[in-house]
A and B are shown apart, each in its own frame.
Chain A
Amino acid sequence: QKEVEQDPGPLSVPEGAIVSLNCTYSNSAFQYFMWYRQYSRKGPELLMYTYSSGNKEDGRFTAQVDKSSKYISLFIRDSQPSDSATYLCAMGAGTSTDTGRRALTFGSGTRLQVQP
């Protein structure tokens, strides 16, 4: 079983829809969580970073973390065709020192298509 599970999609929605993307994880050591957007043939672009359980909002994006359920979500409001990309969740284990591990474990990515 993978440490991080993410539905690969593709997920197709009409323009203006609310999109929900999700990841589950099994490693309790994961303490901080990120969502990346990756366009074809480009590097991942950081969208959201969260450290604690709860919601964090940034424009049309809301990241939600439930550590008790080991479940994270990314919501996109008023989705646009330009949001069509692969969305990757990533997680890191908490460290107690500055030189601790910063290796991220990624989900496999969900391909999103927003239809105009």
Chain B
Amino acid sequence: KAGVTQTPRYLIKTRGQQVTLSCSPISGHRSVSWYQQTPGQGLQFLFEYFSETQRNKGNFPGRFSGRQFSNSRSEMNVSTLELGDSALYLCASSLVRKNTEAFFGQGTRLTVV
């Protein structure tokens, strides 16, 4: 059974640019969540999508956005990149049942220069 797939694995962008990251969940998982991981702040929740709708959002500025498609694949977008956005962005997928396990992808490492 294939795991969570995130693309690309590595990205280097310049301040002010925007970036789009992609996540394909485990087959049958309809909930996708995004997290940002940095050495200083650890893993922080960005947002969660289910049935193409954002269900929950963490404490991040509006420059961070996402969407989910009918096949449960999800994308997140960061506009007007700042140096502080450099991080490992992780996607997690879950079955749509309450209190279930979340499985993570390998992440996309974004470097903003």
Q: Which residues of A contact B (CB under 8 A)?
A: 31-32, 34, 36, 41-46, 49, 51, 88, 90, 92, 94-109
Q: Which residues of B contact A (CB under 8 A)?
A: 4, 6, 31, 33, 35, 42-45, 48, 50-51, 55-56, 58, 90, 92, 94, 96-107, 109
- Contact for B101 among A31, A49, A88, CB less than 8 A: A49
Main secondary structure of the interface of A (DSSP, over half): loop
A2 to chain B minimum Cβ distance, whole angstroms, is 9
Q: Is the pair B33, A103 in contact by a Cβ cutoff of 8 Å? A: yes
Q: Is the pair B107, A101 in contact by a Cβ cutoff of 8 Å? A: no
- Contact for B42 among A95, A96, A109, CB less than 8 A: A109
B85 to chain A minimum Cβ distance, whole angstroms, is 18
- Contact for A46 among B44, B50, B101, CB less than 8 A: B101
> Please, could you name 13 A-B residue pairs with CB atoms under 8 Å apart, sorted by A?
A36-B104, A44-B43, A44-B90, A44-B104, A49-B101, A90-B102, A92-B99, A97-B98, A102-B56, A103-B45, A104-B33, A104-B102, A107-B42
Q: B33 — which chain A residues lie within 8 A by C-beta?
A: 102-104
Q: B45 — which chain A residues lie within 8 A by C-beta?
A: 103-105
Q: A44 — which chain B residues lie within 8 A by C-beta?
A: 43, 90, 104
- Contact for A102 among B6, B48, B109, CB less than 8 A: B48
> With A and B bound together, what is the CA distance between A41 and B105 in angstroms?
12
